[in-house]
Amino acid sequence: MANDTAPYTLKAYSELVESIYKGLDETPLWQSLLRLLREEMEANICFLILRTPNLGDAGLLLNDGLPTPISDAPNNVYSDGLYALDPFVNLPAGQVVSLEEFLPKDQLLHSEFYQRCMKPFDLLHILGVDMQLADGMRANLRITRSPNAPAFTAQDKEKIALLLTHLHSAIPLFARLQRMEAERTLLDRTVSQLSLGTIILNDKRQILHCNAIADQILAEKNGISSKDRQLQISQGNEASHFRQLISSAIEAHRQSKPHIVQAMAITRSAGHLPLNIVVRSIPQLSQVDGQAVAAVAVFLSDPEYKSQTSAEVLGQLYGLTPAESRLAMTLADGQSLEDASNSLHISRNTARAHLRAIFAKTGVTQQTMLVSLLLKSVAAFLASPR
């Protein structure tokens, strides 16, 4: 790459390849790559299309070079419908081609797509490649020049071709990371909806992550809190015991022993029930030296938490009326039938009638069975976090 016939200098090629992988963690995504590529190609706009627009879907178009009012808008003239007129689509997979090769210039200049989508942005020359990626994914790269700029050459095509192997690796990796993040977020929300606080610690006892419920419990500073990314227990004897549990879990993590699960209660101020805590070691995975790795999971449960089970979902699951759903939710919060009738402002006879109907529709015969059923149902997973 250092000789005169190479399409890139070694420095330029290295920077471009580095930007492909660094771009996985950029916001906006792959902005450095698109900027460097636009500058290297002496282009005015560089596009990376990760999801092609369709009716009702603006797609996912990354760019460098579009004017800010257009690039910052949620949609653009292309996504708003002109994608259907684009003649430069369905290119041979993995083959870098120019628009001039694909469509005669006279035909292009008289097309609606040119008049509405290219001419207003001073575009004439386009170089493109369609990539067929792993798992059926597709991505398209488009690089444009103005009418006053020279047409794209064979060397320009070679420049893009040399990057394809890295793009073929990086884009599916991005998709995989997105799926993992979506799954993690869903799991995090589900655990929060079950009123279970989750705290992840590294092997230095530092907090790496808290879900919403854990954040709320720690913010109350009642029995347990956090300072400088460390968990703190108020009671001295409980604090010592908690440190021992964490130390055992960290040691099990470091030695890759079977998961160790330990539990304790944390005293809170007068009038509050103790918090329940479970400490569990996390298996050790391959890691890079110095990397912060999850070592211990701490689960927090507040017995005073009131169920947020969805009344609407309960009705859909068991055919309960709104009134029956409200009573069932109140009973799931631990209230007696008498207390529930008072809090719902209904008579005891009405509450008993609702309860008989609930029993008939859910198939249980006791109030304790009903509470257990509701807390284990999918309705609890669809609740709104407190």
Q: Domain 194-301 sits in which CATH superfamily? A: PAS domain (3.30.450.20)
20-33 pLDDT, tens digit per residue, is 999 998 988 999 99
Residue 219 pLDDT > 90: yes
Worst-scoring range by mean pLDDT, 124-133, 175-184, 233-242? 175-184
Residue 153 pLDDT > 80: yes
- At how many degrees (to 10) do helices 164-193 and 10-22 cross? 20
Alpha carbon of residue 41 to chain centroid = 34
Q: Where are the domains of the chain?
A: 10-176, 194-301, 311-381
The confidence band for 385, taking pLDDT boundaries of 50, 70 and 90, is: very low
Whole-number Å distance between alpha carbons of 9 and 354:
79
What is the pLDDT at residue 301?
Answer: 85
What's the whole-number average pLDDT of the chain?
Answer: 85
Whole-number Å distance between alpha carbons of 134 and 379:
37
In sequence order, what are the beta bridge partners of 61? 49
Residue 238 and residue 246 in contact, taking contact as beta carbons nearer than 8 Å: no
Residue 264 pLDDT > 80: yes
What is the pLDDT at residue 69?
Answer: 47
Strands 60-64 and 125-132 turn out to be: unpaired
In sequence order, what are the beta bridge partners of 140? 49, 130
Instruction: Work out the average pLDDT over 6-17.
Output: 90
Q: What is the DSSP letter of 105?
A: H
| E strand intervals along the chain | 45-51, 60-64, 97-98, 125-132, 138-145, 196-202, 207-210, 224-227, 230-233, 261-266, 275-281, 294-301
What is the pLDDT at residue 302?
Answer: 85
Q: pTM to 2 decimals?
A: 0.65
Instruction: Give the CATH number of domain 311-381; options: 1.10.10.10, 3.40.50.1820, 3.30.2130.10, 3.30.565.10.
Output: 1.10.10.10
The confidence band for 375, taking pLDDT boundaries of 50, 70 and 90, is: low
Share of the chain above pLDDT 90, in %: 46
Residue 67 vs residue 200, higher pLDDT: 200
Burial 125-154 (b: 16+ CB within 10 A, else e): bbbbbbbebeeeeebbbbbbbeeeeeebee
65-107 pLDDT, tens digit per residue, is 886 645 555 556 677 666 788 888 899 999 999 999 988 888 9
Residue 308 and residue 385 in contact, taking contact as beta carbons nearer than 8 Å: yes
Q: Could you tell me the two tokens for 16? A: 């471009």
311-358 pLDDT, tens digit per residue, is 777 888 888 898 998 898 888 777 888 988 998 999 999 999 999 999
The confidence band for 246, taking pLDDT boundaries of 50, 70 and 90, is: very high
CATH annotation of 10-176 = 3.30.450.40
Instruction: Work out the average pLDDT over 232-238.
Output: 91
Whole-number Å distance between alpha carbons of 375 and 205:
32
Evaluate whether 194-301 and 311-381 have a shared fold.
no
What is the pLDDT at residue 386?
Answer: 44
